[in-house]
Structure 1
Amino acid sequence: MAHIVFDLDGTLIDSAPDIHAAANAVLAEAGAAPLSLADTRRFIGNGAPVFVARMRAARGLPEEAQARLYAAFAARYAEAVELTKPYASVLVALDALAAQGHRMGICTNKPIVPTRAVMNHLGLTQHFAAIIGGDSLPVHKPDPAPLQACFQALAGGADAPQLYVGDSEVDAECAQRAGLRFLLYTQGYRKSEVAQIAHHAAFDDFAALPDLVTQILG
């Protein structure tokens, strides 16, 4: 049995369409041009405040508008679930990993309120014994503290192999700083080539993940 922690956006779920819609509603209110979906994916990864800062800078909006824009975005983001979908075979893979006896958690830079909202909407919450959001601690990824906190919550004093599954450079750096093996999902929101991202193993289909975990642990 292992303790396996997952990133959320770009790893288990494709949330970019909902984030895109929320961002463009805020930009429209500010009289600014919309983002493309590709830009939205590119801006995701370091938490909602950084996303809004990137969105604001891309549209030439002043820094003093950050707090107002973030508040408007956060209000929409908290309930942005309708356009988000799990990646193919995610639910099957989670069921298989649970059947193998692994304990699983979530460590994401998404704020905890929208994290729980979208996980509940998609029926994902039941799979995870610990959930750490981007505002659960004073720091967020790539600082290793949230990831370490998630593993501590999973362990409950029990020792087990630890694996982190994510899709991005932020996730890879976080795993590296925590001294953990990192499994890279290659179809998410990464900005670099796979070879440029430090990882222990990579996969492009969640159907392959349970066997990959078995191989790594073996």
Structure 2
Amino acid sequence: MAEALNLVFDLDGTLIDSAPQIHAAANAVFTARSLPGFALATVLGFIGNGLGVLVGRLLAHQGLEAEGPLHRDLVADFMRIYEQAFDLTSLYPGAAEALQDLAAAGHHLAICTNKPEAPARAILHHFGLAELFPVVIGGDTLPLRKPDPAPLHAAIAALGPARTLFIGDSEVDAETARAADVPLALFSGGYRKAAPEEMGTELVFDHHAALPRLVAQLQGRRPGKG
């Protein structure tokens, strides 16, 4: 019987398209404090390093102090919206089916995201995926977040010893995989800015329906074999 793998997934831009939700939340919390809103492209360009960094970048974009009381209050406002609003967030086509297939094949699944842990768990429950992920490491689960390797290492440790593949979509995920010495599977339809060939990936997939087959092919190769 083929060995089961640890499959650790990023969330935003990898399994879910949350950019419209994050954009709406940003405009809601900023305009509620009589600050201007943002274009979707602006918010999209700042996603990936966690909520605190996102808010700091949005403040700096408006020429405001990136840290301090306003930053703290805006982060708290974001968190309240994050845990309740899912109407503008969608699963990528084929993602749910791919996850079900991978779990049925015996692989061990985890989430390693820079989204805060409570909103990450809430969105997994919303889409009926929570039972597939016994391990969820969020951006506030540990003192460090991606691209530091600690969150990915924590997810792997919680799953138990096995060959591991990290599945992500962005430069942050690529840097995390390199730092953790874990191969990366890149979803090309997420929030990356660089070309896939520049990101040092083990494999690239354009649609989630292809992922179980690609994982099975990787499963059949000996570690280190190209």
- TM-score in terms of structure 1 length: 0.95
- Aligned-partner Cα distance in 2 for 1:73–1:92: 30
Residue 44 of structure 1, aligned match among 39, 44, 47: 47
- Aligned-partner Cα distance in 2 for 1:129–1:118: 14
- In the TM superposition, 1:53-202 aligns within 5 A as 53-63=56-66, 64=68, 65-155=70-160, 159-202=161-204
Q: What amino acid maps onto 1:109 in structure 2?
A: N
Residue 9 of structure 1, aligned match among 12, 23, 29: 12
Gaps of 5+ in 1: none
Shift of 1:49: 0.2
- Aligned-partner Cα distance in 2 for 1:61–1:30: 13
Is the counterpart of residue 26 in structure 1 residue 10 in structure 2?
no
Q: Give the SS at the match of 1:137.
A: coil
Q: CA RMSD in A?
A: 1.2
Q: Give the SS at the match of 1:69.
A: helix
Shift of 1:16: 1.0
Identity in percent: 49
Shift of 1:73: 2.0
**Residues 116-149 of structure 1, C-alpha deviations (whole Å, 9 max, x = no match):** 1111111111111211111000100011111011
- Aligned-partner Cα distance in 1 for 2:62–2:147: 26
Gaps of 5+ in 2: 221-226
- Aligned-partner Cα distance in 1 for 2:201–2:210: 16
The aligned counterpart of 2:213 is 211
Shift of 1:69: 2.0
- Aligned-partner Cα distance in 1 for 2:16–2:215: 20
- TM-score in terms of structure 2 length: 0.91
Shift of 1:217: 1.7
Shift of 1:67: 1.8
The alignment covers a number of residue pairs equal to 215
Q: What amino acid maps onto 2:199 in structure 1?
A: I
**Residues 145-170 of structure 1, C-alpha deviations (whole Å, 9 max, x = no match):** 11011111111xxx321110000111
Q: What amino acid maps onto 1:15 in structure 2?
A: S
- Aligned-partner Cα distance in 2 for 1:171–1:23: 23
- Aligned-partner Cα distance in 2 for 1:153–1:11: 21
C-alpha contact (below 8 Å) 1:12/1:87 kept by paired residues? yes
Shift of 1:72: 2.0
Q: What amino acid maps onto 1:165 in structure 2?
A: I
Hey, which bits of structure 1, 4+ residues long, moved more than 6 A?
Answer: none
C-alpha contact (below 8 Å) 1:6/1:106 kept by paired residues? yes
